[in-house]
Structure 1
């Protein structure tokens, strides 16, 4: 009697749809031809790995689509691999560009980024510092001109200041030499374009320590060195609207200034709008120079001459300091600004090249 083999049951649709097994650390090690320990060193940012091996590991991770288990990694290392970035206003193009650069540099080191806005308020800064600590951030990068003394509980994670004008005691601080950069910009207006009455527009400062704005110091020093005179000072909000209001105030008088230095690109763009409202030509009737070097400054009409801050250098220095606070110490790092010459000061520059 012949025996028939029962037909095989059809595979379950659920089994057929089951996704392939996620790649593991062992898979990465095999692809990169290194040990699993080397893979771990790369993921934790250890300096024990040669650049060549690190590149192989990162390439293998990318090819395999490997994503470390953040929960397991946190339990193993005691780190969350998340940094916090606290900004005055992330809608400001300058701070938006800083956030983008810091996010990119942090990602290269295997870190994510939480971003929150302080609205230039010291109390909000302190609240957010505590909140980021409670969320488990491995470090905080704070964009602030303030020099408050923060309570110990807010300093339980590494802290780095950026956009800092002065050293802060015991805290790594990174900034740009704003006084020297402003001096150069004002001297350019006087010595190259023969402007004699230079006005200054700054945003209001809530610095509880009362530290002077170095842009005002640089402006005053340049006037003294060149013999030019003050065309007035206007203090307003750090916004386009603030720039419009301040420029209307400065330019609506009979003896108006023939040049304005604006303390930010947003203020400078406001000045351009106010000049147009008043029927004044830039730069023929009033020359304008601003500060920041944001991308937006290249798209105004005329394009703004501006002091560009080295955002890439600041981002790299900030991430390095917050990840290795012992090496950073409490030092103040100051980068030079760069005067980007464009049409608003009176210089003729070729139009930007348009590529398809």
Structure 2
């Protein structure tokens, strides 16, 4: 006997025989398609372990037309917001016997379209895409292939299933806090160009809070990208202006972290000299010095909704899910006690 020859893989029928059930019951345990008793599931899983059974995913995909694989395309895996979304998305699909494949477009619209086409060609059952492509061009990817959910979307788009947070309300709540609690009157905004047509919702929220308080627009510092480096550059310019703003709203945590770095470099005290607040609510905002007051996006809820839509094959035509976030008060705005407020708004349109 050749000892080097690999052992023959166990079959589903052998697992069923060992567990004393039908092959259909083995399938139910593996796929979660139907519920079985806990005792039966335990016997099946014990038989799987004893026999070393491994399902043939390729054969199953050919037989069922489903790969049990979802794809997610994001602009930048190094951005903590997208990293956290991927983590929560993975958790949401893993509990339903799906796996994910992750791809980064690096903020390149052409690369995004290529990745979407490539993943659909690999027969993923659905795609979640944080798009940098203009909505008019995204029509190119509709048609044959699994469903697509466009994530990190602030507004509905005709013919598309979109998921996002209420960014306008989040921005407005941050600026209102600076005005009402800290009596700030010259509030700057730092943001990068929007990937969407029209005015960036975070800018809209900033303006609406100022208008409601009867205040003029503060300085607008538009940077090239949503990174720490560009946030630091914006900070160097804002902190050294003759008419330095008395507070700054950073439209992302990355930009806010960059502002804090520039402040430390220039000897500007945050929050004593200039309070800073940010949007996103990633883990970085909690571990910055000082900790950032922020609007936390409901990443776990958005990821679960995206997974549900793709796995349950929800029709992906003209539906927009918008989720409320929460205002998290920390030291960077000037408050001495950290608190988290309840969600500020709800919506599903």
Fold-level similarity (TM above 0.5): yes
CA, structure 1 residues 195+152, in 2 after alignment: closer, same or farther (shift >3 Å)? Answer: closer
8 Å Cα contact 2:12/2:26 also seen in 1: no
Q: Deviations over 1:308-348 (max 9, x none)?
A: 11111011100111123335543100001111111101111
8 Å Cα contact 1:275/1:282 also seen in 2: yes
8 Å Cα contact 1:86/1:117 also seen in 2: yes
CA-CA distance at 1:124 after TM superposition = 2.1
Residue 215 (structure 2) aligned to one of 212, 228, 235? 228
In 1, the alpha carbon distance for the partners of 2:40 and 2:260 equals 51
In 2, the alpha carbon distance for the partners of 1:132 and 1:252 equals 47
In 1, the alpha carbon distance for the partners of 2:268 and 2:165 equals 32
In 2, the alpha carbon distance for the partners of 1:293 and 1:155 equals 37
DSSP-derived class of the 1:230 partner: coil
In 2, the alpha carbon distance for the partners of 1:110 and 1:312 equals 18
* Count of residues in Structure 1 that have an aligned counterpart in Structure 2: 333
Q: Deviations over 1:13-43 (max 9, x none)?
A: 828x976964746536864x75432432454
Q: Deviations over 1:125-170 (max 9, x none)?
A: 2111111111221111001264234225665221001100111222
| Correspondences of 1:47-62 after superposition (within 5 Å) | 49-50=34-35, 53=37, 57=41, 60-61=44-45
CA, structure 1 residues 213+22, in 2 after alignment: closer, same or farther (shift >3 Å)? Answer: same
Larger radius of gyration: 1
CA, structure 1 residues 183+154, in 2 after alignment: closer, same or farther (shift >3 Å)? Answer: same
CA-CA distance at 1:92 after TM superposition = 0.8
Give the TM-score normalised by the residue count of structure 1. 0.85
CA, structure 1 residues 80+100, in 2 after alignment: closer, same or farther (shift >3 Å)? Answer: same
Other-structure match for 1:5: none
CA-CA distance at 1:71 after TM superposition = 1.5
Residue 312 (structure 2) aligned to one of 324, 335, 339? 324
Other-structure match for 1:98: 85
CA, structure 1 residues 302+83, in 2 after alignment: closer, same or farther (shift >3 Å)? Answer: same
Give the TM-score normalised by the residue count of structure 2. 0.86
Structure 2: 5+ residue runs without aligned partners?
340-349
DSSP-derived class of the 1:220 partner: helix
Residue 27 (structure 1) aligned to one of 4, 7, 15? 15
Other-structure match for 1:199: 188
In 1, the alpha carbon distance for the partners of 2:72 and 2:42 equals 25
Other-structure match for 2:119: 132
The Cα RMSD (Å) is 2.7
Q: Deviations over 1:218-246 (max 9, x none)?
A: 00000011233432111111100010111
Q: Deviations over 1:33-92 (max 9, x none)?
A: 75432432454453xx23x64896388437844532112211221112111100010111
In 2, the alpha carbon distance for the partners of 1:240 and 1:140 equals 29
Residue 286 (structure 1) aligned to one of 274, 277, 281? 274
In 2, the alpha carbon distance for the partners of 1:218 and 1:95 equals 22
In 2, the alpha carbon distance for the partners of 1:270 and 1:336 equals 26
Structure 1: 5+ residue runs without aligned partners?
1-11, 352-356
CA, structure 1 residues 172+29, in 2 after alignment: closer, same or farther (shift >3 Å)? Answer: farther
8 Å Cα contact 1:198/1:228 also seen in 2: no
In 1, the alpha carbon distance for the partners of 2:42 and 2:198 equals 45
In 1, the alpha carbon distance for the partners of 2:23 and 2:102 equals 33
1:246 counterpart = 2:230: no
Other-structure match for 2:283: 295
8 Å Cα contact 1:29/1:39 also seen in 2: no
8 Å Cα contact 2:174/2:295 also seen in 1: yes
CA, structure 1 residues 78+241, in 2 after alignment: closer, same or farther (shift >3 Å)? Answer: same
DSSP-derived class of the 2:26 partner: helix
